[in-house]
Structure 1
């Protein structure tokens, strides 16, 4: 009996799944596996990692969903084989044990993942087992959207225009997994999902956050957002307002389908849906950039900016990480990240601009800090966003346009509601001072119970001075 093994990675769903669909359609029996990859998990700095818990809970739901699909189709039940090991060792070993003819997976575009998949493919080929991967996490990949001269785009707007011109129903149609679900192979007796402790991790505050997990969580968030997508363009930049979709962790781990999301936005139309679709296109754009230019992981997209002399400022970097810079919008953003594993997109731009342009710290240090803490961390998007803010990337914010953290705060958190939520020591500060509390005199400080420099820090840098230093720094690199 011809059989295959489907390797789940960042695609933790039982529906509209390319690799799963092709395996079920082509083979008589299909096994499924997820690997808690020790190469990744053992390197994480915190044993309480919300991403690990998000994945763990989503894997549990996926396991049950696969079994249910099989039984509803008249099969004998199914589910996941789950391993806690190095994936490049566990997958070839399991494939041999099961005697499968092929291993199917959905494509990953990160350099480390590509190297891992090459190792797996080589080890499988050595024992006569095929390895095949499929496009699943983006609408257009690799060379599917190129310039007229056949080169990858490096500027977003023409890429977006070409992307939209190419889009049609073919690229967003769903893969009907359920049609072949009777072909799932039953799990081996005694096969269990290890608990968090067995993985070396502890529970986090994920359950207390307003972030539902798994496929059901993704569906809940999408249904909620669908009712307000028409207001997305007007509300998306205000962190105190429920304006965004909150689907980014689900996109990262594939508990939702990018095809379904793009098809929904395309069909919905209107300013809100078009703006949100543009954000999905940014995601494809950065994956394309990472594929064609893997050097951006550690280097500036614009080579001349590798000459920038960044400041080695450990005390300033620590103040930024801990949310005690004296700029309330920056501090609120960093405290949101540290508390929840999430940061609003507008705040990501503000925080990144402040670190690189006000503090003069290398963007790579900030990118790594976000990578360690964001639930939705995605290398391509995180790297692209940081290089945009630092003005070192493709289609970047021009280096001479530098976010003023006070005016950004006044514009996007006018009443200070978001600041007061995450910087509670400023809760009683009057609105006219909430964006720059250091401007309060002694009497005002006493009236609201905040002593600047004691209860809340004075600004660690002067923005106007820092702006001048940044212009000089970039000008020197461009000479």
Structure 2
């Protein structure tokens, strides 16, 4: 009897066993060597929060593999041929990476493997509909979300894939979890993360379906409530696939389920935009906006990043990010608008700060979310939208609970008064800082700058 063939399953943003088509394809080949490569090109720029989450997620994956996950460190172009040769593997299986760096890396890995007689097999992506799959009737990429979402839903997606029951795992003689190639987990100080891994993702999803989905349509904009799923980090690392969530949502006919589907569509839209415009991860989708007058990041930028602007809703959001590695989406929009429109700092610097601190930092969603706020993204008439940080707080944190949770200097102010400490005789009694800028004046300055650009720009904005 001939020996079963061996394949390498190269895990990346798919740190799970269930609903993983690439893993099923690897298992169909025979024995599977499960591999993760700590790539310095990605590890180096990552913030400590994302590094910590990744390491914890990998430990959870290793546990589900019975301690068989092989961990290597180095450039995948050199690591993959070496591991494949060591295992005697004819194929390396992956879920396709659709990001700019991942596409370039995988092309280089594919060439290196081909030189060694090994095939790189791509099966599936991190999205329900692979980026680049949905086009307009004229065969062009979508530029606006709403028509994309309709076409995305009409395109549809396959049912969730099964689990690799009976898969035969091999170690391959490499470093396991905790070996020499395994980085030390960074010290996050007081920042606390929730449980990572596939099991935690499934548990979180089950809890949200039971307790959060019905009210999601209304509660998702309220940072004072536990109204969101907080699954973004699990989706970012592939601990659960959006196809799994969509299959469960199909069994719920409610406004909450539809609203959640729409949020998944936004994630897929931004990945699609990045697919066609890979430079938009760091450059302006509308390059004319780069000609606006921006301020150098100085003390006001530090005040923003540390939650010391004197605007409670903004400061609560930035402090939440440093305490939890996560920020409510409504608050993300408000703090981003404040940086760009009130402090006149370029969105690229804010996007970089988010990627430093967020556990769910995703290049497509982060960059294009910031561009949407900054007026350089996919929105049709974006720059005129300037979020009022006080009005937003009063509307979406009506009793001040969110502010008091993250800004202890204001816990003595009851109800809505927490949003306007300057209006209370004892508003600054516990050391809360005064406002770094006047919102009304900076809003006018931002709009005047945009109007001036429109007059001067020969190609329009």
Please state which band the TM-score falls in when normalised by the shorter chain: over 0.9
1:459 paired residue number: 435
Verify the 8 A CA contact 1:172 1:263 in the aligned structure 2: no
CA spacing shift, 1:116–1:264, aligned 2, 3 Å: same
Q: Are positions 1:4 and 2:4 aligned together?
A: no
Distance in structure 2 (CA, Å) of the matches to 1:111 and 1:208: 31
1:13 paired residue number: 16
Superposition TM-score, scaled by structure 2 size:
0.93
1:61 paired residue number: 60
Instruction: Give RMSD over aligned pairs.
Output: 2.0
1:394 paired residue number: 378
CA drift at 1:191: 4.3
Distance in structure 2 (CA, Å) of the matches to 1:256 and 1:206: 27
CA drift at 1:199: 1.0
More moved, 294-303 vs 363-372: 294-303
- Stretches of structure 1 lacking an aligned partner (at least 5 in a row): 68-77
Q: Are positions 1:159 and 2:148 aligned together?
A: yes
Superposition TM-score, scaled by structure 1 size:
0.90
Within the candidate set 124, 128, 132, 2:121 is matched to 132
1:74 paired residue number: none
CA drift at 1:285: 0.4
Distance in structure 2 (CA, Å) of the matches to 1:83 and 1:268: 42
Distance in structure 2 (CA, Å) of the matches to 1:196 and 1:340: 29
Distance in structure 2 (CA, Å) of the matches to 1:305 and 1:328: 29
Verify the 8 A CA contact 1:389 1:396 in the aligned structure 2: no
CA drift at 1:141: 1.9
CA spacing shift, 1:31–1:314, aligned 2, 3 Å: same
Verify the 8 A CA contact 1:140 1:284 in the aligned structure 2: yes
CA drift at 1:268: 1.1
Superimposed CA distance per residue, residues 211-262 of structure 1 (whole angstroms, 9 cap, x where no aligned partner): 2211111011001100120110010011110100011110000111211101
Number of positions where the alignment pairs a residue of Structure 1 with one of Structure 2: 451
Verify the 8 A CA contact 2:72 2:181 in the aligned structure 1: no
Q: Are positions 1:366 and 2:350 aligned together?
A: yes
Q: Are positions 1:308 and 2:283 aligned together?
A: no
Q: Are positions 1:251 and 2:235 aligned together?
A: yes
1:72 paired residue number: none
Within the candidate set 143, 149, 152, 2:132 is matched to 143
Distance in structure 1 (CA, Å) of the matches to 2:15 and 2:294: 40
Distance in structure 1 (CA, Å) of the matches to 2:416 and 2:395: 13
Verify the 8 A CA contact 1:196 1:202 in the aligned structure 2: no
1:226 paired residue number: 209
2:411 paired residue number: 427
CA drift at 1:172: 3.4
Q: Residue 83 of structure 1 aligns to a residue in which SS?
A: strand
Q: How does 1:194-343 map to 2 (within 5 A)?
A: 194=178, 199-204=183-188, 208-209=192-193, 211-227=194-210, 228-343=212-327
Verify the 8 A CA contact 1:328 1:423 in the aligned structure 2: yes
CA drift at 1:2: 3.0
